[in-house]
Structure 1
Amino acid sequence: MTVTLSAPSTSTALDIQKVTARIGAQISGLDLSQPLGADTVAAIRAALNEQKALVFTGVDLDDEGQQRFARQFGELTTAHPTVPAVEGAPNVLPVDSEKGVANHWHTDVTFVLNPPQVSTLRSIVVPPYGGETLIANAAAAYRDLPEPLRHFADTLWAVHTNDYDYAVPQESLDEEARQRREVFTSIKYQTAHPVVRVHPLTGERGLFIGGFAQRIVGLSVGESRKILDLLQSYVTRPENILRWRWSPNQLVLFDNRITQHYAVDNYDGLPRRLNRVTVAGDIPVGIEGKPSYSIKGDASHYSSVAELGATPVAG
């Protein structure tokens, strides 16, 4: 579908092409290096609400340009609560294969009280093969649940933490990997979120779990793991996943409130580098209107709290 918009600064044809049935669309005809009009930002937000992940190709952006683009959707977070930013760019996180891989399903920074509402990833160095990013639609996963399981999930809360159950034990790490883990957990966070989150803009319900969700409130670790694994299996059904193969000069914008993602480690250790910029989010709310609550760790240095249903900021 093609939508033509009249923005204050320019008249822009916004071409939106779906990539899969359940998640993902590619947008053409926009120069992201220029400020976007309010109508254009609103149209991108509407497309994001529907498609959950948007791909922009042929973008001519540096770190400042990526931050400027992301800022049109709200106030930026700093790069990360514990991991250092790109030097001279406190809002930019380097996602660099040489500093570890993020090959586990997760939603960004769910161990804090108000995780980012949206994330942007921009390709810097792309391996000649592999290195795809998978993005899953957590709303479609919720709709896939059989009715009894859906009702059960509606009642659950989960504790998310950055000091999570790593697949690789501490004693098997080399010194560099051990130091990275120590930095990542230098401030320990625990936050309880509803397993089923209500999206503040669309009202959709989505499974809000992923790799940082370690325990169901009121259950043992063993019981929790079985339930979380069962629910997670619906998130990662192939029908719910966009598998994006990166090319140079691309930017992906995805709704962190209602997706999970995974960086596929299938490029033989070749260099792979993306830069991430995220937009401050609201405090998640469950189906009964109860908000998430912090158990351990103050992340106020990382992110302000966005108002529920915060509207985009024009260029």
Structure 2
Amino acid sequence: MPEIEIRKVTARIGAEVSGVDLAQSLDEETVATLRDALGRHKALVFDAAGLDDAGQQAFARHFGDLTTAHPTVPAVDGAPNVLAVDSERGRANHWHTDVTFVLNPPQASTLRSITVPPYGGETLIASSAAAYRDLPGPLRSLADTLWAEHTNDYDYAVPDEEIDGETAGRRAQFTSTVYRTAHPVVRVHPLTGERGLFIGGFAQRIVGLSAAESRKLLELLQSYVTRPENVLRWRWSPEQLVLFDNRITQHYAVDNYDGLPRRLHRVTVAGDVPVGVDGRESHAITGDASHYTPVAGPAPVPAAA
């Protein structure tokens, strides 16, 4: 068996992994090594030659139970745990953490390249742990006390005249059940103990503040997440897979490929309920997502380096 090699891509986030055949069942030692690497680097890139939907689901199951594809968006035919991230069905060109509008968002996400445009189409992944560490002391202390409401019925900031019937239909499907959940703005990672800014595009309001006040404060905190030093910019090649820790990252699909075909398949791993600095857990306000995701049990302790 080849030795696993893990090579950093940037100082603060991202590593490429070689020596792991994702199409094969992984032993406990390999999974522990990958889980530890994910805790360190937040995003891992693999060669996924020969991997299909079943193989992607099998790989993701090494990290926990799977969610279904999405709370409101249909899955790939015959694969209830697989979501098609397809440029023909819309573009996720906004910073977000996957499905934070439910009580227990996924702990990890896998994206596998199916169709790659000849240029552009990168995925940006940002470390919210690095963002938290970058905050000035007074702002960090404030963030520690804040809570935010996340919802799938969010402000797209797109003029109505630019929305055609197809886009309106996709939005109606996305919000067919409205979810609203209160999460701590600073989340404590259950494995590493790191603190990270748990915000992104679905965070629409700071609890106790007006919409206008919330917007200004969220924009300020978000500006630390998206600093170039905190971002991995991954240019896709065919048959690659990216695994990222959804508890302590945000991501953004860059719309810079002239409308050419771009398709990824996403499989997500069920997560735990977020916990803030004071030990309080997130709570649901509206919407029951139990059909989408189980609540993950206690996380295993990562292997020593």
> Which TM-score bucket, shorter chain as reference?
over 0.9
Residue deviations 1:94-130 (CA, integer Å, cap 9, x gap): 0000000000000000000000000000000000000
Task: Tell me whether 188-197 or 167-176 shows the greater mean CA deviation.
Answer: 167-176
- 1:153-200 Cα distance to aligned partner (Å, 9 max, x none): 000000000000112144531111000000000000000000000000
Unpaired stretches in structure 2, ≥5 consecutive residues: none
What is the aligned counterpart of 1:141 among 126, 131, 137? 131
- Corresponding residue to 1:54 among 44, 47, 56: 44
- Structure 1, 124-133 or 167-176: larger mean CA deviation: 167-176
Q: 1:183 aligns with which of 159, 163, 173?
A: 173
Give yes or no for the alignment of 1:200 onto 2:190. yes
Matched, 1:152 2:142: yes
TM-score, normalisation: structure 1: 0.94
Distance 2:238 2:155 in 1: 34
Q: 2:84 aligns with which of 94, 98, 109?
A: 94
Distance 1:288 1:60 in 2: 45
Further displaced range: 163-172 or 202-211: 163-172
The alpha carbon displacement at 1:12 in A equals: 4.0
Shift of 1:309: 2.0
Give distance in 1, aligned partners of 2:207 and 2:144: 13
Aligned pairs, how many?
Answer: 302
Using the alignment, how far apart are the partners of 1:160 and 1:297 within structure 2?
12
2:246 is matched with which residue?
256
CA distance in 1, matches of 2:38, 2:193: 14
The 5 Å alignment of 1:125-136 reads 125-136=115-126
Change over 3 Å in CA distance of 1:310–1:170 after alignment to 2? farther
Q: Specify whether residues 120 and 311 from structure 1 end up closer, same or farther in structure 2 by C-alpha distance, changes over 3 A only.
A: farther
Match of 2:201 in 1: 211
Residue identity matched to 1:307: G
Residue-by-residue CA offset, 1:242-282 (whole Å, 9 max, x unaligned): 00000001000000000000000000000000000000000
Residue 60 of structure 1 deviates from its aligned partner by 1.8
**Residues 65-144 of structure 1 aligned to structure 2 (within 5 Å):** 65-144=55-134
Q: Which moved more, 1:160-169 or 1:195-204?
A: 160-169
1:176 partner letter = E
Residue of structure 1 aligned with 2:284, choices 276, 291, 294: 294
The answer to whether the Cα contact below 8 Å between 2:22 and 2:48 also exists between their aligned partners in 1 is no
Give the aligned CA root-mean-square deviation in angstroms.
1.0
Quote the residue 1:27 is aligned against: 17
Q: What percentage of aligned pairs have identical amino acids?
A: 75
In 1, Cα distance between equivalents of 2:6 and 2:31 = 14
Residue 66 of structure 1: SS of its match in structure 2?
helix
Q: Find the partner of 1:14 among 1, 4, 29.
A: 4
Letter in 2 for 1:68: A
Contact 2:97 2:250 (C-alpha < 8 Å) held by counterparts: yes
Of 142, 152, 156, the residue aligned with 1:166 is 156
In structure 1, the gaps of 5 or more residues are 1-10
Q: Alpha-carbon deviations, 1:138-158, whole Å to 9, x = none?
A: 000000000000000000000
Instruction: Measure, in 2, the Cα distance between the counterparts of 1:222 and 1:197.
Output: 23
8 Å contact from structure 1 (residues 73, 311) kept in 2: no
Normalising by structure 2, report the TM-score.
0.97
Report the CA distance between 1:307 and its aligned residue: 1.6
Separation (CA, whole Å) in 1 of partners of 2:255 and 2:89: 13
TM-superposition CA deviations, 1:73-109 (whole Å, max 9, x none): 0000000000000000000000000000000000000
Equivalent position of 1:5 in the other structure: none
